[in-house]
Amino acid sequence: MSTANPALKIKRLQDIEVEGKRVLARVDYNVPMKDGRITDDTRIRETLKTLEYLIARGAKVALVAHLGRPKGKPDPKYSLKPVAEALSRLLKRPVAFAPDCVGPEADRIVGALQGGKIALLENLRFHPEEEKNAPAFAQALARHGEVFIQEAFGAIHRAHASTAGVCKYLPGGIGFLVQKELEFLDRVLSNPTRPFLAIIGGAKVSDKLGVLNKLLDRVDCLLIGGGMAYTFLNAQQVSVGKSLLEADKADDAQRIIAKAYARQVKCLLPADHLVVHEIQPDAQTAVTQSMAVPPDMIGVDIGPHTVEIFTEEILKARTIFWNGPMGIFETDAFSGGTLAVAKAMAAATKAGATTIVGGGDSIAALAKAGLASQVSHCSTGGGASLEFLEGKILPGLAALAGGVV
């Protein structure tokens, strides 16, 4: 397994003896819910290959996961029971559900599993010990298995009991989803086909400084959009009106621009903007005639000229990484730029480019455009993919490799 951290030697699921064994698998079922119903089951479906592999080999599988932020105590709003029902439908077989992830009832349900059967245990974050990586809690989880399989790429950058702590008590490795995630991200880091383009958007520069710095060592072209673009424009003494601005990050933004220039990386900011007087779904919109935003207006999306420029660059690239929307895409009237990038990504993929999308908002935009299946890879872990690309050691991988967490 090649990773951005070559010192890490991690076993793969297919290299581990799982026949007839009790397997504890950490999955990422932190799915979007509305009124108790799952609105996007992508993260569940992405684990099916690993689960079907384990079922076929007669493993007794205990799944652990988190959902939302219940603040360390039980909250029916964040129960994984609807997830167990959805997983049962997708697998076309019963999935037992335990009302807790540790304790007598969880032990009883896991202990009763026959070969080829699965149980999903209740939300890990109903216990504060999970996020504290408490050893006793990790030991209690580890008692559910003889082998540990890490399949939660979206949580692998957290040093929690279920991602790092259990590795001290169980031998283990990574499932097929995590293998796929690492393979695509490693391709971006190690040997991208050029031109290599990165599209970075989202609200805040502060969230992306690390990955921007790292990508500038590798990319040929960088496109910056979203709310964070206004901090970059401000750093260039361009008026941004009342748009989102992290004034204290202007120096950081200027250093990014200077580094791009020094490394001869084409770094493009929005050339025009969709603007409003106030952020309301029915607000009257206008398009600026330049990079500047009028003093009384707010930028909410890239403008049509920027869409043309960004699309042209995307279609020229052979490897593309996209993280973060181009504007407030959740509002239909402000979603045009983000959807245009999604369409360009799909067109580039069709033309032979390797395209990787990381981050929930970018993936949601692809889904909104009906194009999620038309890119090379959608990462299930936005934060984890960014930290991997920054070159950080991910605790969930380090623990599997016997590293210090």
pTM of the predicted model as reported, rounded to 2 decimal places: 0.86
Q: What is the pLDDT of residue 403?
A: 52
Distance CA 140, CA 62 (A): 13
Answer whether residue 166 shows pLDDT above 70. yes
3-class DSSP assignment, residue 342: helix
3-class DSSP assignment, residue 9: coil
Distance CA 282, CA 289 (A): 22
Distance CA 75, CA 233 (A): 43
Tokens linked to 22: 């009790």
pLDDT digits (tens, 9 = 90+) for 306-334: 999 999 999 999 999 999 999 999 899 99
Mean pLDDT of the chain: 93
pLDDT digits (tens, 9 = 90+) for 180-216: 999 888 887 788 999 999 999 998 888 888 889 989 9
Domain 192-389 class in CATH: alpha beta
Does this chain's domain 13-179 share its CATH topology with 192-389?
Answer: yes
Q: Are 8 and 403 in contact (CB under 8 A)?
A: yes
**Backbone phi, then psi, for 388, in 5-degree steps?**
-60, -45
User: With DSSP H G I counted as helix, E B as strand and the rest as coil, what are the percentages for the chain, rounded to 5?
Assistant: 40, 15, 45
3-class DSSP assignment, residue 196: strand
Q: What is the pLDDT of residue 1?
A: 41
Q: Is the peptide bond before 270 cis (omega within 30 degrees of 0)?
A: no
Q: 81-90, 127-136, 381-390: which range is least confident on average? A: 381-390
Structural domain boundaries in the chain? 13-179, 192-389
Q: Which residues pair with 64 in a beta bridge?
A: 26
- Strands in 273-276's sheet, in edge-to-edge order, are 286-287, 273-276, 298-302
DSSP codes of every residue in 242-310: TS---GGGHHHHHHHHHHHHHTT-EEE--SSEEEESS--TTPPPEE-SSS-B-TT-EEEEE-HHHHHHH
The superfamily (CATH) of domain 13-179 is Phosphoglycerate kinase, N-terminal domain (3.40.50.1260)
pLDDT digits (tens, 9 = 90+) for 320-371: 999 999 999 989 999 999 999 999 999 999 999 999 998 778 888 888 888 9
CA angle 308, 266, 191 (to 5 degrees): 105
Report residue 62 CA to chain centroid gap: 24
Alpha-carbon Rg of the chain, whole angstroms? 22
Q: What is the pLDDT of residue 382?
A: 78
Tokens linked to 197: 């383009």
Task: Please identify every residue annotated as catalytic.
Answer: 43, 204, 360, 383
pLDDT digits (tens, 9 = 90+) for 224-278: 999 999 999 999 999 999 999 999 999 999 999 999 999 999 999 999 999 999 9
